[in-house]
Structure 1
Amino acid sequence: MKKTIVIVDDHVLIAKALEGIIDNFHDFEVIYVCENGKDLIQKFEEGEKIPDIILLDISMPIMDGFETASWLAKNHPRIKVMALSMQGDDSSVIKMIKNGAKGYLLKNTHPKELETALTGLNSDGFFYPDWASKIILSNLNKEQESENTVKISEREKEFLKYTVTELSYKEIADRMCCSPRTVESYRDQLCDKLDLKTRVGLAVFAIKNGFAN
């Protein structure tokens, strides 16, 4: 069965061209196209099928890619978001990843690389080309320097261990013998301390700093 994709891009010609390219891929199909994040949310509310993957532009009117990625991470965390943009600057890449995107491609990407990226995203849960990986690594090294001064309690470390699992917050609360509200407070405190917004960001931090073992 083909993996379903939704394209969110306000440039109709580009979106339609992408749709035609992807529909020629063996393992993927585009089920509909949206002009911005608000349009996507409206289609979800109207009962349109929830896709496996969303190809998300960044610069869009009404509701841009950053806001849309953040909304998807909170409301549909199982959807894999791939940023597809003309913007390849460090700030855009890092912000999209922190907001929940699992991959990042430029719009001048060759169709074959796009297919490879979608395959990697589907099988591994993420895909970053070499240029994006270098940006991420550089940013993580910078964050490491500042994170060394952050104080993390033992209970917060225990919570971080569970962020890399598929356990729900309620299930994590059961493992930690506390209430879901307490677990949510650990999450919020860590997000504030580390300047993160999503569980994905916390999981990356946990893995990078050895709390996931």
Structure 2
Amino acid sequence: MIKTSLVIVEDHVLISNAFSELIGKFENYTVLYECANGKQLVKKFEEKNNIPLLVLLDVNMPEMNGFETALWLKEHHPEVLVLVISLHEDEQTVVQMIKNGCRGYISKQTTSIDLKLALDAMTERKMYYPDWVSSILSSNLSKESTNQLVQPALVFSFREKEFLKLCITDMTYKKMSEVMFCSPRTVESYRDSLFVKLNLCSRTGLAVYAVKNGFE
């Protein structure tokens, strides 16, 4: 059985070890290593075999905190899924972490059952927002007529623009990865990110959007 690899980035050793031990009991998951902050994670990522599918990320950490780490991952490893595990449940923190590219958010006070549910959702659907997070996002959208949460999502990175242009062609995703000089998994991460940003669910939808918005 191929297990889903993950890394824990948490500055409190006891908490990090506790999560690692708990996840180690889940049949389909394996913890590659633990880091005390984002700076250590960046150093670890210099070795290809150290790059996981999932990163469990704390918010408050020394040297390189969760906000900075999430942005770094979004820019350099968009294929890596980020699940926030934090005691901070305030609207500002939740919204900013999601703006910075995190695809899931749970409390450190979560149960083992809910943690497993979150990990499964991240693996299968690429995101996990429990009801309390969905309420925060809904409230944020309602309060801000300029929709600060959505606006950053509509600012495309260079690689996302490149991917949208290729969506108009008849290239397979594998061929796209060759043209973009990256792995098929990374191409899929661009696709999934754009699905979320544009509220679409198919390549045809992406192609239509690309044509209508001048990405040819």
Structure 1's consecutive aligned runs of 4 or more residues displaced over 4 angstroms after TM superposition are: 174-177, 198-205
Residue identity in the other structure for 1:78: E
Q: Any conservation in 2 of the 1:7–1:56 contact (CA below 8 Å)?
A: yes
Query: Deviation of residue 7 (structure 1)?
Result: 0.1
Matches of 1:84 and 1:9 in 2, distance apart? 9
Q: CA RMSD in A?
A: 2.9
Q: Any conservation in 1 of the 2:53–2:80 contact (CA below 8 Å)?
A: yes
Instruction: Give the paired residue count.
Output: 175
Instruction: Give the equivalent residue in structure 2 for 1:72.
Output: 73
Deviations 1:176-197 (A, max 9, x none): 79xxxxxxxxxxxxxxxxxxxx
Unaligned 5+ runs, structure 2: 170-189, 210-216
TM-score in terms of structure 1 length = 0.73
TM-score in terms of structure 2 length = 0.72
Query: Deviation of residue 139 (structure 1)?
Result: 1.2
Matches of 2:140 and 2:26 in 1, distance apart? 34
Closer/same/farther in 2, CA of residues 124 and 199 from structure 1, 3 Å limit: closer
Matches of 2:94 and 2:41 in 1, distance apart? 22
Q: Secondary structure at the match of 1:137?
A: helix
Closer/same/farther in 2, CA of residues 48 and 106 from structure 1, 3 Å limit: same
Matches of 1:53 and 1:33 in 2, distance apart? 12
- Residues 12-91 of structure 1 aligned to structure 2 (within 5 Å): 12-91=13-92
Unaligned 5+ runs, structure 1: 153-159, 178-197
Matches of 2:98 and 2:79 in 1, distance apart? 15
Q: Give the percent of matched residue pairs that are identical in Structure 1 and Structure 2.
A: 41
Closer/same/farther in 2, CA of residues 173 and 31 from structure 1, 3 Å limit: same
- Residues 172-183 of structure 1 aligned to structure 2 (within 5 Å): 172-174=164-166
